[in-house]
Homo-oligomer: A and B are copies of this chain.
């Protein structure tokens, strides 16, 4: 079954090279701006009450995918769906970011980890009641040998 998605805005970030974007928002203090197309701006009402929001977007430079990948945070190959590698059958990404400021049709955000010009698909509020589970097992991510030279704030995003 096919579904057609249309961007509702654009994410502006300091990252113009995909080799220079952070692995995850949790590793980024970068400030960016979410531009919402004017016809959707009314939907932002009350978003300013939330300190954190979730952005859904397209990995627009992702052209193809492999079902087995070596994520940036490990040296072993894993199934694609056990990673956040950006090259996926449906290249949908999500980032949990801090909302710093809201204007009529723009949001200033902190902790952005995407390329400048990333097409925005949706915004949802982050609510710990729904979104937090603390007692988890995290598979290979928990047992990996940390490759410190490849982690840190200025590496490929979302590729763990």
A79 beta carbon closer than 8 Å to chain B: yes
| Minimum distance in angstroms from A152 CB to a CB of chain B | 14
Q: How many residues of A contact B (CB 8 A)?
A: 65
Q: Mark A124-143, 1 if CB is under 8 A from B, else 0.
A: 11111111111111111110
Closest residue of chain B to A51, judged by CB? B137
A67 beta carbon closer than 8 Å to chain B: yes
A15 beta carbon closer than 8 Å to chain B: no
| Minimum distance in angstroms from A124 CB to a CB of chain B | 5
A156 beta carbon closer than 8 Å to chain B: no
Which residues of chain A have a CB within 8 Å of any CB of chain B?
Answer: 1-8, 24-26, 40, 42-52, 56, 58, 60, 67-68, 78-84, 88-90, 92, 94, 96, 119, 121-142, 160
Could you show 18 A-B contacts with beta carbons less than 8 Å apart?
A: A4-B5, A6-B90, A26-B130, A40-B67, A42-B68, A45-B79, A46-B78, A47-B81, A49-B142, A50-B136, A50-B137, A52-B133, A90-B121, A94-B94, A125-B139, A126-B133, A128-B133, A132-B132
